[in-house]
Structure 1
Amino acid sequence: MDTDKDLAAENALGGFLRARRARLRPEDVGIPASGRRRVPGLRREEVAALAGVSSDYYTRLEQGREQHPSQQLLEAVARALRLDDEAAAHLCRVAGPATRRTRRAPRVERVAPHLRRLLDTWRDTPALVLSPALDLLARNRLANALHADFAEADNLLRMTFLDPVARHFHRDWDRAAQATVAALRRAAGTDPDDPRLSEVVGELSLKSDDFRMLWARHDVRTKTREAKLFHHSQVGDLELHYESFTVNSARTQQLVVYQAEPGTPSADALTLLGSLSAGPVPARDAASGAVSD
């Protein structure tokens, strides 16, 4: 990907289709393996046959020359590539008409005051607000303490791939890295013209081989709920479950809330972390750099 161009310029549809067919073996879809293949995965003509379209049509689709694929055709391709529901929805998003718009100026993301106050009321639960590019727009005191090992807690991708602390903080770094990139890929499919997304992808592509490899996989995933395994330098191991919510007053923002299972060592460790960080309750606004007290 040319990091000087925005995300739409990379032919997101073609990249997604190529990445997904490269991950399927002929035997995965009932095609007898015959001879040695020059490249991994299925051939274009094999995907076309599975989807019930001509090889020429599928080639145009993958090359970005077919601008108006029908919903029925996209569903057939999704079945041929064995896509799950979320990946199939992403396929439909990136297959939309590639009308180019005027390059947008970066949007200043601001967290509403009432939402910042809500974060501050959760004294026993780490809570934060994320932008589509996974910038940490606001966080409460306990979320601040949770990420205290990082040199700068500003963006989940930069923290995961560029700060060496991440390899110790995430007890399963590979899983955390995959999930973070997949969340960014989904956001890019929703709004490929977002200049902040392009900026983050460009920076990480230049600075991290691991990011480039995962970005090329075109995995797609929404941050909803999951267990996260952390290791904090002050309180040790933590297993925290998170829930992610769309902020209706700012629908591009996500509210993420972590909690430990009651009565577990993780709950004790989270309580200890709260006591160690007792004091004013900051909720940092990435747009202004301000911290609420």
Structure 2
Amino acid sequence: MSRRGWALFLAMSLIWGIPYLLIKVAVEDLSPVVVVFGRCVLGAALLLPWTVARGQLRPALRRWRPLLLFTVLEMTGPWLLLAYAEQTLSSSLTGLLVAGVPFVAALAARLVGEEERLGRVRLAGMGLGVVGIAVLLGLDVEGVGLLPLLAIALVVVGYATAPLVVSRALPDVPGVAASAIALTVTAAVYAPFAVPQLDDAARAPGEALVAVLVLGVVCTAVALALFFALIREVGPQRALVITFLNPAVAVLLGVLLLDEPFTLGLAVGLPVIVLGCVLATRRSPVRTTRSELTDVDAAVP
């Protein structure tokens, strides 16, 4: 990847490693609907005025059909399902399960005719990433209900296919504009269910309210703008490899900020994950044959 690609990649790995912990804190005292509504309102409040001021709202709305599909796949469905699942699942296990996104993305890309190659080196990198996460966190699903696992499976499908919508159907829509519209639509969808609960939510502990605030400002408004830039810089499949580092970031935050123990699994698993990410994000060589002139790696500047 380019230097800009690596900078965006590392920023997104950090920013989207935080939400699993924040959601876990928030749903201890707030309903999943209120959590999703709150983060969407905050995100839209930041991004929508910017979109209007730059004159991008009306042109973006002309692509309302793919925008609506992106909204459902990236926000409206997954965010509620994540909040629901984390009422019973740990944030670490949730992050581990979501790390399956790149594999589903690769399958989805093949099904829709995406031309990006997944060579042996990149596949090996993905495999190392999964192994590293398993070592890092451990896979302990004993006693976990089926419905939360199904919810995370749907989240994985949504996160894996949403970037394909961006790259294939929304290449000319600015990321901030698309994000602002998606956040506004999602907030409107959940408003009838969340607004009646706001009085009770206002009396929630400060930790829960701060968690929603950070989710809305940093992990939603800022992160979505960066994520669109990352997709256009490195391609949809490679962008999703951030899901390998997200669980590692969550664990590191626990060690650094919450005084959680630095385990052997962390010491061994984290380097394996980093190596897997380096290999999985490696740019495939550009070939000059006619059949490969449309390869995504060749098209990305």
TM-score interval for Structure 1 and Structure 2 normalised by the shorter chain: under 0.3
Q: Greater share of strand residues, 1 or 2?
A: 1
Q: Greater share of helix residues, 1 or 2?
A: 2
Alignment TM-score, normalising by the size of structure 1: 0.22
Alignment TM-score, normalising by the size of structure 2: 0.22
Structure with higher RCO (Cα < 8 A, 6+ apart): 2
Larger-Rg structure: 1
